[in-house]
Every structure is written in C-alpha cells, then in structure tokens.
Structure 1
Amino acid sequence: MNGKFVNNKTISLCIILGLLLLLTLIYWIIKPETPATMHPANPQAQQYSLKSNLTNTQDGQKEKLPVLAASLQGTEIDCPIQVDANGKLILTAGIRSCFDYFFSSLGEKTETELIADIRQYLTATLPEAAAGYAIHLLDQYVAYTHALKNMKPAANLKTGDIDGFQKVIDQMYLVQQQFFNTAEISALFGNERKLNQFNLEQMRIHANKTLSAQQKAAELAKLIDQLPATMADGVRVSMQFAELQQLTQEIRDKGGSAQELRNMRESLLGREAADRLEKVDQEEAGWQTQVNGYLAERDQILKGEASPESKQQAINQLRTQTFTTKEDLLRAQSYEMMHDRK
C-alpha cells in the first residue's frame, strides 16, 4: 500500500477525532448547569435528584448508589434527569449530561465498570419505566461512541477545509440516526448540532475574501447571538475574544488603520467595549514607551565600566524610580528577561 496514502488517511482520522473531542469539550462547557425547565407538555413533570447515599426502591428496600471514581468523589452528581407524573422519562439534555459525567472518569475505571455504575445509579434513582428507557439510551449512546471511533473519513481533511468538515459532520449525523430517533437526537445532540453549524458558518465567514474585517465582525456578532440560550456567558465572551484576536491580526497583517480596527471592534463587541479597548491600547502604548526608555537607560548602565555590583545597584535604583507599583516592577523584570534573551 502506498505510504503517502496511509499517512494522509491517518492524518484525516486524527483530525476527525480531534474535532470530535473539541465538540465534546464545548458540549461539556455549554451543557445545562441547572435543571432544565420542565417539559411544557406536562407541567406536573418533576426532577429526580440525589439527596443521600441511599435511595428507596419501589419495594421499600434500600439500594446503594455506585462508588464514584476518585476524581468525582466529593462532587455533586450531574444527572438532571426528569420524569413526568406517570414516572416516564422526559427527553432532555440532562440525560447525556449524566452519561458524560460518569464517563469523564474513564481511565480511572474501565468502560464496563462505568456502564455498570450508570445502570446502578439510574435504577436506584428513577422509577422503573424511566430507568428502563434511560438504560436503553445508555446502551445506544455507548454503541454510538464506538461507531464514531470506527468512522472512516469521507475525505482527507486540511485546516480550513469547510466542505471536508461538513462531510464529517454529515457522517456523524448519519451515525446518530442509526441509534436514536428524531426526538432522542434533538435532546441528546441538539446543542451540539447548533454548535457544529456555528463552527461551519464561522469558517465560511473567515474564508470569505469579499468581506472586510468590519463586515466579518458584524456577521460573527450575529452568529454568536444565535448560539443556544443555554450557553454560559463565559463561553460567549471567550468566543468573542477569539474572534477579536483573529480579526485584529488580520487587520494588522495588511497594515490596516486605527479607524479600521475601531470599526471592527465596534461591530463585533459594541461601542462601549470598543471604547474600553481603545483605552487599553493607549495605556499599553504609554507603558511600552516607559519600559522602552527604561531598557535603553539600563543598557547604558550595563555598557559602562563600573563593577557588576555597582551596575546592579544602579539598575535597581533606576527600576524603583521608573516603576512605582509592585505589579509594574514585576512586569518590568519580565521585560528585562525578554530583552536580554533577544
């Protein structure tokens, strides 16, 4: 077999697995931190949550909950699973949250052990009908993750290959349909699918050479506003920051003006945030002027004919005269080290 083909195929598989791991990580960040709103079709729905180390089963006996892996001990079990007034399972993102909570300790325990732990937890905390359905979804979820690992790439992917990533995501969706019905897919993978679409649209905006940086910022701002409501504010801010960094670099690489930078920031973040960033720029410019002057005087001292001890004493005096706060002194010393390495 051609060695180049093997390498390309291996690289493609690595990219796919990396993409899947990234999507899983982001899903963990945006998954509901609190129980979801009760299902509108049944206002009598209720959430079953862990309150003690033992739970009553229907026959009145006590059933123990699983012993968690070491990394999870002392944490609150993240299983916001809901059932309706008839004891039937309601399909929500909390079901997947529960599975992923236990599977996050894979390596400390084997997959077989974790599956047994989840089964034990579901049986101990849910009515019989709900537990049965939840265990069925668990089995399907495990089978699905195994199928993803065995998924063959539809194409050799490269960074920025939008069509290639679209094909990978389409393959993922086809695999989901093999194991889940439409309602189950919506509950377990709804937010993930929205995030996949966000990532693809984000790539398309950045790849569109007909758009200016300001236009890209405006399109990206609209895209971020369309993210799931369950997404944490911190994640939204981090995405805005990442886009800000990329667009800023794009403007600077082509020698863009300060006004162009301002317009981009305002389109992406709003006027108030753009004002704050301009203030930060001014403060940073002032600091850079101050530290450059200090380093130049320090260089003159180091080039002098005084003893090393006298030079160091003069530098210490210059530093304390130039920088008045402890934070600035520490920062100046960091700049000294970077300056000396150059």
Structure 2
Amino acid sequence: MHARIIKTGFVLLALLAIVVGVQLYLTEPTPPRETISTTSALSTPPSASPVNAPAPVAPKHEENPLAYYAAMGSSLGERPESLDGTAVDGELKADANGQLIVSPGVRQVFDYFLTTIGEEDFETVKARLAHHINRHLPPEAAQQAWRLFGQYMGAKEAISNLPSHDGTSASMRNVVAQRRALRQSWFDAEANDAFFGLENAYDEFQLSRREIMESTNLPEAEQQARLTSLTNALPHTLQKMVTATQAPVAVQHKVEQLREQGTSESEIRALREQQFGPEAADRLAQLDQRKAQWEQQYTAYQQQRQTIIDSGMATQDREAEIQRLRERLFDDSEIRRVEALDRIGQN
C-alpha cells in the first residue's frame, strides 16, 4: 500500500497539488514524457453536454472507436512497470438506467492510465483504458465515458496552448480564468464541477495565498495570521489535502538540503521512514537509485549522440546511427522516453 502512495503522489492529491500546482506555478506547463495525439478525441469544444455529446470522429477503419480500442486492450500483455502493485484509482459507475454517473472518480480513472504515457504510446494507453471502461460499465454508460475522455483530452490540449503567466498573482489569476473558461466550453456544469470543482477551490486558495505573500507592506506577523486564517477558512476536506500536500514536499526539500550538506543516505532514510514508514522509505530509496542510473545512462547517451551529430554524416545516415545507439542502450519503453526527451531538447 505504501508503494501505491508513492506511485500516485498521494492519490487523493493527484488532481490538486501535482497537476494544479505544476500548471499554476511553473512558468510553462510541464511537458509530457511523450507528446499526446488526440486524433480520436474531440478537437473542438462540444456544443452539447458531455454525456449526450456526439461521439468523436472515429478512425476510418473503425466505426466504433470504443469497441476497437477495447478489443485492442483485451489482447495486450502485462501492464507497464510503473503500475505494478497498484489498483486503478477512481471509479466508474452507472445509475439504474445504465447512464454514466459523472464523478471525480471518472477523471481519476483517466489520469491513472495517462500516467503511463512515455512508457507506452498513446494508442496503447487508450486501448487499456477502453478495455477497463468496457469491463466496468454497461454499454451506454461506457460510450458516455469514452466521449467524456475525448473531451478531457481535447480540453487538456487546448489548455496546454494557453500563454504562460509572468509569475505575478495578477497574471496567474488571468491564466486561471482562461483555463476555467476553456473547461466550461468543453464540459457541462455537472462534469465541470465533478472534474475540476476541488481544483478550482485550490486555485483560489493558492492565488489568495500568493497575493498575501506579495503584500510587502504587511508586517510578518500580520501576513502569517492572514495565511493561517485563509487555510482555516477552507472546507475540512480541502484543509486535509493542503496539509497532506505540504508534508511530502517539505520532506523532499529537506532531503535535498541534507544531500547538499553531505548527509549520509542512512540519515535520509531515517527521516523518510519517520515520515512515511519503512516500506515507503524503501520504495523512495529504490526510486532514487533508478533515477540516478537513468540520468547516468541518458547523460552517456547524450554525449555519444552529440558526437554523431557533429560527425558530418548525411542526415539520413546520422538519424540511422542515432537510432542504433538508442537500441543499444535502452529497451523499447525507454526508447520512447528518450525520443520524447530529444524532441523537447530540440525545441
């Protein structure tokens, strides 16, 4: 169970602290590990509600995209390594009439499968999701969930094209307003509230918090009092989420500081074990090791790749040599990630 906690960054907070925090406070949205194509999702905002909206345009070879991808998903092998030992987040439910119940859990299901982008291509991710949808919902509700997924991907793509903020609270508030307007154009009120209600409340909390912190004319004691009052005014559920969000971030910052000071890994493990328990501490240590190995391997690849680029080879020969280098150093799932990182580095 601790492994699941580490995998999702605390499941209850995946929709808030990680997604919202990154989108809101970095100067640009975090690039995905692999560019996501939403060809089979909606490409323009729907004019009807998500449940009753017309289905996305199907691939030419298939009139029923859900059936096509579900069939593909049923023949896939083992799940990606990052999902080992985990259960699908969220839930898919239908009412007594076989209609989809639109809830935050539906978005959690979508996000669970989307976390593997980079390990698997988007077509495979869609196939696994479609298979899961078909197994857990009656036919009409399954089609509604699939259309809602298309709208979700379309909205994500549209939001990713918005201009970034300049770091000020006023600019951030403008960006948030644009995101909300886009979501309202893609989803009806029910789905918008289910998918983004807590996120919107968290946005407002963080914006108000930033505005207080930017008030340089406030004495420090008054500033802290206002921040405390702001947190205390949150609904109890959101208060718990904010507190839980701050804990792992604070520990990670502490770990980084300790490493800069030359603290031993045994002391860092003791800190993590005290905060999260022994199983989670083991998992984090393993992730640290894998991250270090990956960074070392990718750095070596970058150096060899640059040598090939500087060699003066013809473009076609150069690309073929780089591809052979990737195949020699990485497995299939890692190659997709390397290709995505190379594309990002070229932009």
State TM-score, norm by structure 1: 0.49
State TM-score, norm by structure 2: 0.48
